[in-house]
Structure 1
Amino acid sequence: MKIYLFLVVFCISVHVNAQWRKNENDPSPLHRSQKALSDIIVSDIFSPPVASRIFVYANIAAYEIQVKSNNQFQSLKGQLNSFNGIPKADKKQISYSLAATYAYWQVAKRLVFSDQVALDSLNSILLWYKVKGYPDTVVQNSIVYGKKVSDSVLKWVDQDQYKETRKLRRYSIVKKEGNWAPTPPGYMAAVEPYWDKIRPLFMKTADQFKPSPPPPYSKDKNSEFYANANEVYLTGKNLNGEQLDIAKFWDCNPFFLNVNGHMNYATKKISPGAHWISITGIACKLKDFNYVQSSFAYTSTCIAIFDAFISCWDEKYRSNYIRPETFINSNIDENWQPILQTPPFPEYPSGHSVASTSAAYILTKIFGDNFKFQDDTEVDYGLPIRGFTSFDQAAKEASISRLYGGIHYRPAIENGQIQGRSIGEYQIEKIKMKRK
């Protein structure tokens, strides 16, 4: 009787273990996490560079745990600047999926303002594991390990100079012809003027991929600068329906300010980096990627976007270039307004061009050329789905949207694309995440 009872208990135990293990490769918790974190970042109105920081560190924490259970991929230890890896797991039964998801949210929670909303999102996703039959001991062991990893990652995060840049003196505008000045309607202060001091992940320095300088400022109607400004002016006045749709689809401006008399209020929108993270998720689902494969794709893309913003912002506050709206209103047409609201930082280069091109380069390496997808990222913001035949096509459209929108001159777009591609190429050369 004792032997028979033991066999029954053993069989039930094996069945339970088999049931929860079947869900270990399910990427649903990770996809849900990306969307939930994106929504929090939109609600908290983080700037594009800061948003990229939140995404990348959360994803690195999840990826590093996943690597522990899969020999197809390898750790970023020693490949990212100053990153020494994560602690080993105890010899207890854990779910690497649950631990990775928990670590993701523990890191994210520390980096956003709405930490209670982040905690609610985590608890909602943890319920998914309960519903899937994960044993309580496995859940607890996984949470303990996830917390240990997130604590380790956050110590590394704290050394990236972000906190130090919060204490620096407020940026002073240099009043000189050709220099950037705040623009209507809010005339907001410069965003992240010290982002070049943030530690890159794989670049050696913030200025490693410094673009060629923009054309010299000039009011001469025969100058290259004036021709570029006039192109923005004429393009904005003669947009066709498709160009207008492109400008709106890739707006990605978290700072959009509505002014109604004496009342100002914000329309919250997704950032450029978050848009590309959404595209990454779309691609993962189309290819039926599992958890670790999806984590690899998200993390690779986030790394590219993070360093792209450091590189881009480094040049923005070096060249300190005047925005089209400022020049056109003063020298061509005082009543002209761009289709998109001018964001509060210098013009050169185009951040969307740099970040989109670098992200698209990484995604092309992962999913291949001519990867067709339907981008529904902006549906939540009242815009229709757009279809693309490749990541490169999407990146080029994102880039040219800045000319259609009236917020960038052509050199900022074209040189930004060169800069972004160089960053992507260097990342592929330097960082090896997949084992051969």
Structure 2
Amino acid sequence: MKFYKIMIALLLLSSCKKSEPIVITPNDYHNAIDKVVNIMIHDIFSPPVASRIFVYPNIAAYEIIAMQNPRYNSLSGQVSELTQIPKPKAPDQINFQLAALIAHMDLSRQLVFSEDQITSYRDSLYDIWEHKNPEVFKNSQDYALEVTKHIVQWMNADNYKQTRTMSKFNINSDDISRWEPTPPSYMDGLEPHWNKIRTFVLDSASQFKPNPPPEFSMEPGSKFHNELMEVYDISNKITELGDTSEEMQIAQFWDCNPYVTVTRGHLMFATKKITPGAHWIGIAKIASKKSNMNFEDTVYAYTKTSIVIFEAFISCWDEKYRSNLVRPETLINKYVNDNWKPILQTPPFPEYPSGHSVASGAASTALNSIFGNDFQFDDTTELQFGLPIRSFKSFDHAANEAAISRMYGGIHYRAAVDEGVKQGRDLGMFVVNSLNMVNE
């Protein structure tokens, strides 16, 4: 009889046990971002599309944080057509950090091809959180999904779906100044209609239209021909110096081309890498960790950076398909040396301006506004691809190196690099000054 009394007492104590608090850390958000990056590498998204996959989930998470934390201001009314997210009916029964993380994962899952990978990752976390506190988990999940639905409705009006059915880019093979597909895969021009995607802060895709490239001319001594031969001469010099040269290491470090294909005999396959936007998202992660940011500040850093990168690709792609300039590889093979190959594989879209340069100029400006102009960091982003750590004294230092890497790699003329990074910084400063995200 005594034994049964003890058992009953234990059962009563067990049933009265308080639920554990669900603690969400900055690392939980970093891990969710990392999961998305790895899936994006696997699914091989183009740089513009990748920027879209980053930005909407971050905005969803940020809006939930701004609903609860008075330090942050909602983006509704600040970015195009975004209205205020639903208010929670019982805010005291919601873990807002948990809701932000769930919203990020759920929206990310809807934007990638391999959604099962995020679903599996998400469900493994759901098991832990639900076990700790079923009521708070359920309330937070319900609110997160309500917000996600709101953001998806807004997102679906950005013209992305319409651009999926628009015509391919028309190649003008009779004009040698115009872009044409490059080896080894000779892919069609990617995302020729990206300038039709709704901007967030810019009044149009062409608001930061850069200076035009040098007038096309194959006449020796002309500015354009000089820039063409500069690419050729630098590439030959770097190749002669070998893999140990600083220029070669810079080119390889900032490659970030998700469309690299390798040909071996009759076999052609792709090697998968991150996009330039993903590299700068990785730098945002490095800076957030070094600064010991809390969860809310971490979400803010990612959101601001991803907004600027998204705008940068719309602006850059608008000019790419307007100027429609031929790549160095095409002209060098036709008129200088038919055996020449660039150090990096030429990506499948027109040359001007450099996408790396525009995105890097924009991202560095956003990160300067968060962490300061002299933020030193070690960039470990490319370790997973077997490349060593590079150290930078500032975000501008990194952006300048990313930009010049494209000329070292043999895929851009100098004007595309110089004008591109300026375009990115001008655009980035405009976005930063236009957004009022933080109450200091």
TM-score (norm 2): 0.93
Distance 2:216 2:319 in 1: 16
Instruction: Summarize deviations over 1:16-39 as a string: whole Å, max 9, x none.
Output: 56x43xx24x21211001100000
Matching residue of 2:153: 155
Matching residue of 2:285: 281
Q: Which runs of 5+ in 1 are unaligned?
A: 1-7
Counterpart of 1:264 in 2: which secondary structure?
Answer: strand
Matching residue of 2:116: 116
Number of residue-to-residue matches in the alignment: 421
Partner amino acid, structure 2, of 1:327: L
Distance 1:121 1:256 in 2: 28
Q: Which runs of 5+ in 2 are unaligned?
A: 1-12
Instruction: Summarize deviations over 1:272-307 as a string: whole Å, max 9, x none.
Output: 000000110010000000111000000000000000
Instruction: Summarize deviations over 1:109-135 as a string: whole Å, max 9, x none.
Output: 1111111112112223435545xx741
Distance 2:132 2:77 in 1: 34
Distance 1:314 1:430 in 2: 21
Partner amino acid, structure 1, of 2:234: T
1:98–1:126 CA contact under 8 A, matched in 2? no
Distance 2:388 2:95 in 1: 38
Partner amino acid, structure 2, of 1:95: N
Distance 2:308 2:209 in 1: 16
Counterpart of 1:280 in 2: which secondary structure?
Answer: helix
Matching residue of 2:71: 72
Distance 2:232 2:59 in 1: 43
Distance 1:282 1:242 in 2: 23
Alignment root-mean-square deviation, CA: 1.6
Partner amino acid, structure 1, of 2:392: F
* Pair 1:29 & 2:28 matched: yes
- Of residues 365, 375, 381, the one that matches 1:371 is 375
Distance 1:105 1:308 in 2: 24
* Pair 1:383 & 2:393 matched: no
Distance 2:291 2:16 in 1: 36
1:98–1:129 CA contact under 8 A, matched in 2? no
Instruction: Summarize deviations over 1:62-115 as a string: whole Å, max 9, x none.
Output: 111111221111110000101112111121511111111111111111111111
* Pair 1:352 & 2:360 matched: no
Q: Give how far 1:333 is off.
A: 1.4
Instruction: Summarize deviations over 1:219-267 as a string: whole Å, max 9, x none.
Output: 1011000000000000001114111000000000000001112211100
What aligned pairs does 1:59-208 form with structure 2 within 5 A after superposition?
Answer: 59-91=58-90, 93-127=93-127, 129=129, 134-175=132-173, 176-208=175-207
Distance 2:84 2:219 in 1: 55
Distance 1:11 1:284 in 2: 40
Partner amino acid, structure 2, of 1:78: G
The alpha-carbon distance between structure 1 residues 353 and 189, as it changes in their structure 2 partners (threshold 3 A), is: same
Instruction: Summarize deviations over 1:152-182 as a string: whole Å, max 9, x none.
Output: 1000010000000001122211221200000
- Of residues 320, 325, 330, the one that matches 1:321 is 325
* Pair 1:271 & 2:270 matched: no
Distance 1:329 1:129 in 2: 59
Distance 1:157 1:186 in 2: 33
- Of residues 289, 296, 302, the one that matches 2:300 is 296
TM-score (norm 1): 0.94
Distance 1:10 1:382 in 2: 52
Identical aligned pairs, as a percentage?
A: 47
Distance 1:252 1:124 in 2: 31
Q: Give how far 1:365 is off.
A: 1.0
Distance 1:134 1:159 in 2: 38
Distance 1:60 1:106 in 2: 13
Q: Give how far 1:147 is off.
A: 0.5
Counterpart of 1:402 in 2: which secondary structure?
Answer: helix
Distance 1:128 1:66 in 2: 22
Distance 1:234 1:127 in 2: 59
Distance 1:127 1:48 in 2: 34
Q: Give how far 1:11 is off.
A: 10
Instruction: Summarize deviations over 1:187-221 as a string: whole Å, max 9, x none.
Output: 01110000000001110100000001001111101
Partner amino acid, structure 2, of 1:155: Q
